[in-house]
Amino acid sequence: MATLSAPSNHSPNEDAEALRKAFEGWGTDEKTVITILGHRNSNQIQQIRKAYEGIYNEDLIKRLESEIKGDFEKAVYRWILEPAERDAVLANVAIKSGKNYNVIVEISAVLSPEELLNVRRAYVKRYKHSLEEDLAAHTSGHLRQLLVGLVTAFRYVGDEINPKLAQTEAGILHESVKEKKGSHEEAIRILTTRSKTQLIATFNRYRETHGTSITKKLLDEGSDEFQKALYTTIRSFNDHVKYYEKVVRDAIKKVGTDEDALTRVIVSRAQHDLKVISDVYYKRNSVLLEHVVAKETSGDYKKFLLTLLGKEE
């Protein structure tokens, strides 16, 4: 369930004109920017961008970048990009920083095969290299094999599973991932080629056999980037809602909120399942997500995130 509240009868031209008016005069009318862009879905925003450029011969994104700043600007920028373009930007930032390959895993595990293909197309168009080319250039070893395999997969989408295969591959994952005795290549092969439903069947069989989830105590202080990516891959495929809840929880728990992670989840899931993620957050933490966001953020950034959460101030 989405949290975004968007009208069905908006006028792209009227929205473009209202935004232009918000940019004129002394200072920007941020309230109008939030009211319009925070209540439009992706298709409507692309219509506004097109209308704005057609009327004023100016790129709306570039104008916004000159009008607003900081975390607010970053959140609005990521919100008004087309979803595939936004994910391409997030992937590029993750690769160039070399710090957060979780973003690559999220994109690969949560999106449909067609959506992932669209991200790869958007990446090539924007950066003039392929996503897998940049990943391969910035990683090595098993981490490279896993990430390149994830972004280049085009998986079967459906309910068909092979129970016998799930049992066999649960055993392979136990040896490789938990016992660290088997072949990492085999674990990578399974995680980068099987359908989501087949992987979930494998993870469930693992739990039935071993009495615990495969990710339990998988990480420790000595875990390397490959092991962290492996953990994120399994969590994202197994239950992406619980995974995103943990991303938000960790972002807020940090000394100094991790605004990038918080923005990423709210912006990328507001049109999909942010309401479900919020509900899981409440059950896990006994506090409403919007209350925590209101406490941990400030200014127009706070107002914009709360708008996307469906909670006006």
3-state helix, strand, coil in the chain (%, to 5): 70, 0, 30
* Percent above pLDDT 90 for the chain: 85
Contacts 24+ apart (CB under 8 A), 290-298: 292/252, 293/262, 293/266, 296/252, 296/257, 296/262, 297/71, 297/257, 297/259, 297/262
Predicted pLDDT at 64: 96
Q: Which residues are known binding-site members for Ca(2+)? A: 23, 25, 27, 67, 252, 254, 256, 294, 296-297
Mean pLDDT of 36-61: 97
The residue assigned the tokens 């619980």 is 242
Q: What is the mean pLDDT of the chain?
A: 94
Q: Which CATH class is domain 12-68?
A: mainly alpha
pLDDT band at 249 (very low <50, low <70, confident <90, very high): very high
Q: Which residues contact 113 (CB under 8 A, 6 or more apart)?
A: 153, 154, 155, 157
pLDDT at 313 over 70: no
What value does the mean pLDDT take over residues 224-232? Answer: 92
**DSSP line for 122-159:** HHHHHHSS-HHHHHHHH--HHHHHHHHHHHH-----SS
Compute the C-alpha angle 12/17/22, nearest 5°.
Answer: 125
CA atoms within 13 A on the CB side of 87: 24
pLDDT surpassing 90 at residue 48: yes
CATH class of 83-152: mainly alpha
> What length does the chain have?
313
Stretch 88-101: mean pLDDT: 92
> Tell me: domain 240-308, CATH 1.10.220.10, correct?
yes
Asked if the model's pLDDT at residue 130 lies above 80, the reply is yes
pLDDT in the model for residue 217? 80
Q: Which residues are annotated as a binding site?
A: 23, 25, 27, 67, 252, 254, 256, 294, 296-297
Architecture of domain 163-216: Orthogonal Bundle (1.10)
List where CATH 1.10.220.10 sits in the chain: 12-68, 83-152, 163-216, 240-308
* Residue with tokens 């992670």, as numbered in its chain: 261
Per-residue pLDDT at 190? 97
How far apart CA 158 and CA 11 sit, in angstroms, is 38
pLDDT in tens, 155-190: 999 999 999 999 999 999 999 887 777 789 999 999
Give the Cα separation of 38 and 44 in Å (integer): 11
